[in-house]
Amino acid sequence: MAHLLITGGAGFIGSHTALVLLQGGHSLVVLDNFSNSSPEALRRVAELAGLDHDSARLQVIAGDIRSPADLDRALGAAAPGGERVAGVIHFAGLKAVGESVQQPLRYWDVNVNGSRLLVEAMQRHGCRTLVFSSTSTVYGEPQRFPISETCATDPRHPYAQTKLAVEWMLQALETSETGWCIGRLRYFNPVGAHPSGRIGENPLGVPNNLFPFITQVASGQRPLLRIFGDDWPTPDGTGIRDYLHVMDLAEAHGLALDWLMQHQRSLPVLNLGTGRGLSVLEVVQAFETATGRTIPRELVGRRHGDVARLEGCPRLAASTLGWRASRNLEQMCRDGWTWQNANPRGYGG
Ligand code: NAD
Ligand code: WQD
């Protein structure tokens, strides 16, 4: 069992990963500035993990990855048994594509500068094991599917550019200095929630993404789903994505950390997806079947910047980590709906 730092651990993927790691026996420090999350998520993670109130196995630090002092505080926070932080999972960052086009400098500051300051702080503290959240959007608009890790990258907006820049920075770091054990994980489309409905995705304002939009339509918070185009070069004309259950993604992080600690070297860049793409219409139909709710919808034009299809090859993650997404679309829909239904206003409710 290890003592780990999770940056951005109150967020959507971070909170589910924190739960998986606590249930696996690890102790955690979470550093989050709560700019896109709530401390309530971590209270519920502790409750689901069966921790006592004030348990030292989950230490929460409200702070910013761009603050060396906050990073020193987080990396210096020892485990209940006195162990030092042995590894970091770095989720903290900004992730909205459209916003990144409007505010590129902010994205470079938080995502790139924040990551640089984090690894510098890790150097100060002698911690060189790191898992980094990258994204399938670094591939741009590939023509061959499923997308393997050797596919050329073509990041088309500041969000993807900042993620690829950090991948490169980490690669240069491990070349320049021995001892680094780094995992760069390119996620496809994580959706759903913990089956308890206690933690889930908590988008602030109008959701950008398909899944939270559907669940908010199902709960009556939004009148209808707008489908962005039915003239894509796909079988039913709507966009195809590789959706994976957030609990599968969370489990992949536990396996990646175990691998790094056991092998004491870096992982190859890994795609984390299912290998099976689904269209917007397939997702809507599956959601209606799984939940019995009707999703009113209208067809509108394509969304600027969208691509027809993204579908990741999961083979390298399977052969390296022994990881495969095991939860199906029905579970993604059911668990996402359980969360939305029980928490119509997210953690603010
Ligand atoms: P999220 O916004 O729910 O979580 C990110 C967390 O980081 C939030 O809790 C936020 O408050 C925190 N944070 C932001 N800026 C910070 C800062 N400067 N200092 C400290 N904390 C800060 O997002 P998520 O969906 O959980 O994504 C986690 C990571 O995975 C992100 O880096 C994202 O780019 C990446 N990713 C997400 C997706 C996706 O579809 N959700 C896909 C691919 C990659
Ligand atoms: C999926 C499909 C839309 C909303 C986002 C981020 C990306 C990455 C993953 C972080 C597309 C269609 C959507 C709606 C719709 N995250 N759609 N109506 O486009 O893969 O990308 O998530 O790294 O950076 O941008 O996912 O959920 O937004 O869209 O018809 O109201 O649903 O056109 O075909 P996407 P998404």
Confidence of residue 295 (pLDDT cuts 50, 70, 90): very high
- Predicted confidence at residue 209, as pLDDT, reads 97
Ligand 2, pocket-test mutation among 206, 228, 242, 297, most atoms within 8 A of CB = 228
CA distance 68 to 347: 29
Residue with tokens 């916003």: 99
Separation CA 349–CA 337 (nearest Å): 16
Q: What's the gap in Å between 208 CA and the centre of ligand 2?
A: 7
Give catalytic residue positions: 159
Ligand 1 mean position to 118 CA, how many Å? 15
The reply to whether omega before 146 is within 30° of 0 (cis) is yes
pLDDT of residue 54: 84
Q: pLDDT at position 207, please?
A: 95
Between the alpha carbon of residue 57 and those of residues 49, 129, 145, 233, the distances in Å are 10, 20, 42, 50
- Ligand 1, residue 32: give the atom nearest the CA: 21
- Give the range of the structural domain holding residue 164, as residue numbers without chain letter: 3-348
In the chain, how many domains are there?
A: 1
Alpha carbon of 240 to ligand 2 centroid (Å) = 9
Which CATH number does the domain housing residue 32 bear?
3.40.50.720
pLDDT digits (tens, 9 = 90+) for 56-81: 999 999 999 999 999 999 999 999 99
Instruction: List, chain by chain if needed, residues with CB within 6 Å of any ligand 2 atom.
Output: 95, 97, 135, 137, 159, 189, 208-210, 213, 225-228, 239, 241, 280, 303, 306, 310
185-193 mean pLDDT: 98
Find the 242 Cα to ligand 2 centroid distance in Å.
10
E strands of 36-99, at which residues?
Answer: 58-62, 87-90
Residue 167 CB–ligand 1 contact under 6 Å: no
Q: Return the pLDDT at 71.
A: 99
pLDDT of residue 156: 96
137-150 tens-digit pLDDT: 999 999 999 999 99
Nearest bound ligand to the CA of residue 64: 1
Distance 307 CA to ligand 2 centre (A): 9
Whether the per-residue pLDDT at 183 is higher than 70: the answer is: yes
Which band of pLDDT confidence, cut at 50, 70 and 90, is reported for residue 5?
Answer: very high
Counting ligands in written order, which one lies closest to the CA of residue 271? 1
pLDDT for residue 309: 97
Least distant ligand from the CA of 62: 1
Per-residue pLDDT band at 349 (split at 50, 70, 90): low
Which residue puts its alpha carbon closest to atom 33 of ligand 2?
228
CB-facing half-sphere around the CA of 311: CA atoms within 13 A: 14
Ligand 1 in contact with 188 (CB < 6 A)? no
d(CA 283, CA 330): 9
Instruction: Note if the pTM is more than 0.85.
Output: yes
Q: What is the mean pLDDT of residues 261-287?
A: 98
**295 and 217 Cβ atoms separated by less than 8 Å:** yes
Instruction: Give pLDDT tens digits for 244-259.
Output: 999 999 999 999 999 9
CB of 111 sitting under 6 A from ligand 1:
no
Query: 130 with 90: CB under 8 angstroms?
Result: yes
pLDDT tens-digit map of 85-139: 999 999 999 999 999 999 999 999 999 999 999 999 999 999 999 999 999 999 9
Write the pLDDT tens digit of every residue in 171-180.
999 999 999 9
Burial (0-12, 13-18, 19+ Cβ within 10 Å), 61 = middle
Question: Which atom of ligand 1 is closest in space to residue 15's alpha carbon?
Answer: 26
Q: Residue with the nearest Cα to atom 13 of ligand 2? A: 210
> How far apart are the CA of 44 and the centre of ligand 2, in A?
27
348 has a pLDDT exceeding 90: no
Contact 107, 95 (CB under 8 A): no
**75 Cβ partners below 8 Å, 6+ apart?**
5, 29, 85, 88, 121, 122, 124, 125, 127
Residue with the smallest CA separation from ligand 1 atom 17 is 64
Q: Is 133 in the pocket of ligand 1 (CB under 6 A)?
A: yes
Q: What is the DSSP letter of 301?
A: P
pLDDT at 60: 98
Q: Is 183 in the pocket of ligand 1 (CB under 6 A)?
A: no
Mean pLDDT of 294-308: 96
Q: Report the separation in Å between the CA atom of 8 and the middle of ligand 1, taken as the mean of its atom positions.
A: 6
